[in-house]
Amino acid sequence: MKSRKLGTSGLTVSPLGLGCMGMSWAYGEAPDRALMIALLRQAVERGVTFFDSAEVYGPFTNEDLLGEALEPLRDQVTIATKFGFDLTRDPATGPGTNSRPDHIRTVVDASLKRLRTDRIDLLYQHRVDPDVPIEDVAGTVAELIQAGKVVHFGLSEAGAQTIRRAHAVQPVTALQSEYSLWQREPEVEILAVLEELGIGFVPYSPLGRGFLTGAITAETVFEKGDFRTRLPRFQQEAMAANAALVDVLSAIAAPIGATVAQIALAWLLAQRDWIVPIPGTTKLSRLEENLGAAELVLSPEQLADIDQASRAADIVGARYLPAMEAMTGQ
């Protein structure tokens, strides 16, 4: 695969990364660890160089998985992870934010051990902490960069003014936020700010948590423990309504021999050359399908049809529960 640069930072990665959360957390029972280690290494064999994790995924088990899988390939890959939650809180209430400087330093040292590495290539603040000035966060990460423990600084789901304030203290290499054909809010303001400042964009859930693959219908029953069962957008009535977008994308994909997932990813890749989506999967067949999108070139007419279909779709249901939604866009 060809490579892409995340903004003007000099960080070069594969055009599609691999979101690793589902390999150990969030979608029901965790898959077999040995199979996931094999999948991670197969991804590298197929040209993927960008892998995304976080301490909260598990918690901790996802970083440990990546550490074991990628240690023999460390110099071939870019590893991203995240800080920013207080994992000591009661699980019943959910993790709150914690980006105090001492906490960031502690988290980074622990992440380095789990990832079996001497540096974190891209360190994101997972969610903005309203109790800690972003300047203090950026300054702490700058110190970690000076110490050689971190290479690049990133933000996740941050608003425009937070991005500007952080970037003024320590250049931000990438923003990670949800962006897809059914979540286009970053187009309102964020993309222009990123372009102005030379910051790359890493869309997570670029396939709508699986919905934009066409494999999920209103009749789909999710596994026990799958967090989608709690999301408004994945309730039965919402999925039945949202299927209309997938139907239109299927009609565009079929004549060119592509899948719905490939159409959705190729559309994202066509929006800016500094966008690097990170679709997640636990199956080799889906990984290979997703990577096929990097070779799919959509015509201006096809892109216009996809854009029109997305804008015409009346997406039903919020993407998060209110408490989690409140943590975004700050």
What pLDDT digit, counting tens, does each position of 173-227 carry? 999 999 999 999 999 999 999 999 999 999 999 999 999 999 999 999 999 999 9
For residue 139, is it within any domain? yes
Is 2 buried (19+), middle (13-18) or exposed (0-12) by CB count in 10 A? Answer: exposed
> DSSP assignment of 213-279, as one string?
GT---TT--PPTTBGGGGSGGGSHHHHHHHHHHHHHHHHHHGGGT--HHHHHHHHHHHH-TTB----
pLDDT tens string 89-101 = 765 666 799 999 9
Q: Over the chain, what is the mean pLDDT?
A: 96
For residue 58, is it within any domain? yes
Q: What is the pLDDT of residue 89?
A: 75
Provide the domain count of the chain: 1
pLDDT band at 323 (very low <50, low <70, confident <90, very high): confident
Q: What is the pLDDT of residue 1?
A: 85
Q: What are phi and psi of 196, to 5 degrees?
A: -60, -40
pLDDT band at 324 (very low <50, low <70, confident <90, very high): confident
Q: What is the pLDDT of residue 207?
A: 98
> Catalytic residue positions?
57
How many other C-beta atoms lie within 10 A of the C-beta of residue 191? 18
Cα(43)–Cα(1) distance, integer angstroms:
12
Q: What is the pLDDT of residue 293?
A: 98
Structure tokens at 18: 């691999």
Please, where are the H alpha helices in the chain?
Answer: 33-45, 61-70, 101-115, 134-146, 160-169, 190-197, 236-253, 260-271, 284-292, 300-312, 322-325
Q: How confident is the model over 77-98, as a mean pLDDT?
A: 86
pLDDT tens string 267-296 = 999 999 999 999 999 999 999 999 999 999
For residue 197, is it within any domain? yes
Q: How confident is the model over 226-234, as a mean pLDDT?
A: 96
For residue 308, is it within any domain? yes
Q: How confident is the model over 78-91, as a mean pLDDT?
A: 90
Range of the domain at 40: 4-325
For residue 330, is it within any domain? no
For residue 26, is it within any domain? yes
CATH number, domain with residue 13: 3.20.20.100
Cα(181)–Cα(150) distance, integer angstroms:
32
For residue 296, is it within any domain? yes
Q: What is the pLDDT of residue 16?
A: 98
CB distance 231 to 323 below 8 Å: no
